Amino acid sequence: MKVSLNNPDLFIEKAFINGTWVSADNNATFEVRNPSDNSIIGNVPDMRADETKRAITAAEKAFHSWKKQSAEHRSKLLRKWFDLMIENLDDLGKILTLEQGKPLEEAKGEVLYGASFVEWFAEEAKRIYGDVIPGNTANSRIVVLKQPVGVVGAITPWNFPNAMITRKVGPALAAGCTVVLKPPGLTPYSALALAKLAEMAGFPPGVFNIITTAKSSVVGAELTSSKIVKKISFTGSTEIGKLLIKQCADTVKKVSMELGGNAPFIIFNDADVDKAVEGAIVSKYRNAGQTCVCTNRILVQSGIKDEFLKHYVKAVEKLKVGDGMEENVEIGPLIDQGAIDKVEDLVKDALDNGANLMIGGNKYKADSLYYQPTVICDVTSQMNIADEEIFGPVSTIFEFETEEEAIQIANDTPFGLASYFYGNNMSQIWRVAEALEYGMVGINTGKISTTVAPFGGIKESGTGREGSKYGIDEYVEIKYLNFEI
């Protein structure tokens, strides 16, 4: 590693199955690289179907005893896991920045966000309440129980290699489920560090297992086809999400999918321009634009467009690009060359078809994965960049005249994850909030992610919710008992 850790034991180059740190059966490994300079961080096991089957078997065995533990017992272990995350915040942040590239302070923020889910579900473990329903006859008594689903297969993305794990594993373990996790091959070390802390917290062998692989489709197919695995939780692209849903159909698994987005950010004429600029910067450029909820399309009403653009471009000019380990850096590298190629293609198509470049528009450094913070205006719905998730530090500015037009443009997408708008007319705020076809709506804010609210989308952005009191429902089944007395 290029950075030193307070606890070197958190940097692990083994997978974790049944409480043991293991190599692949054939000792195969694959390289993990730092996107800031393409240097090799290390090597982790390249596992396939056989190792995945053993992890599933270990999780099934552990489930039979884990589900019988009291909610208080599970809660205490989760709380200990949370405490260890906070104690090791600096190291977890460094590991995350090293493999993912986001600025260190932002990485630490993700770790705190991720830990908050473990803390939350440590508390919710004790609140998985059932019901008593009045009987349908004089002699019947009806009781409703909530019981853990069983073994959970979790597949997480590279853009939030810490928080997307805890957002799934926290409620699963709280509910009494056991987990087989497949982290992304690009960012496995954050997952392995979390597993080390879970081991230190005292979770029994087999409760939390991690399979590392460079061949996601093989491991994914094993998880989805297994009759033992009762639920799949996935965060990633809509394309892969659809494939996983199809694969789960044969065994009729419970699924939750947090998929792609195409978030609109609407600014009405009566909006506070300074606050709208601030909110748009936060929403668009966090993690170099590599988030599923970051704004993809900024829609500005004509009466305020020029003023907004003037202030927005100035704010974008101030963003500092560089290695995430450097001080005051706000924009790190994109994750790989494919990400750079996609952004370049989308920007070129927009400019070739009439959009105008306000700032940026190129790599920040030649032969690197850095891309300049970019703003292009006069974008139309006919351009590819209007339909595809950009996943890069590029703002696209659309102009609209009426509220109805803004809603039509905003909803003209198969996606429905996050949306945002700024305005001050309360009647309009209610109308627009209800009309936007999205699972989450930020009103006069560019920040919507929080532990206490249900995170998730509609349409082709997925099913199910993560976080909040609703998040644990994804990991339980409802059973009703009918007593005749």
Q: Which residues are catalytic?
A: 258, 292
Q: Is the dihedral of CA 473, 256, 259, 172 positive or negative?
A: positive
Q: For residues 426, 431, 436 and 442, what is the CA-based torsion angle, rounded to 10 degrees?
A: 10
Burial 335-369 (b: 16+ CB within 10 A, else e): beeebbebbbebbeebbeeebeebebbebbeeebb
How far is residue 63's CA from residue 44's CA, in Å, rounded to a whole number?
Answer: 27
Q: How many CB atoms lie within 10 A of CB 259?
A: 27
Of 16, 171, 160, the residue nearest 93 (C-alpha): 160
Q: How far is CA 32 from CA 97, 184, 190, 326, 470, in A?
A: 13, 10, 12, 21, 35
How far is residue 360's CA from residue 338's CA, in Å, rounded to a whole number?
Answer: 19
Q: Partners of 209 in the beta sheet? A: 180
User: Do residues 335 and 343 lie in contact, with contact meaning Cβ atoms separated by under 8 Å?
Assistant: no
Q: Give 198's contacts (C-beta < 8 A, 6+ positions apart).
A: 81, 207, 208
Of 401, 311, 391, the residue nearest 358 (C-alpha): 311
Burial 18-36 (b: 16+ CB within 10 A, else e): bbebbbbeeeebbebbbbb
How far is residue 118's CA from residue 80's CA, in Å, rounded to a whole number?
Answer: 9
Structure tokens of 354?
Answer: 């009439």
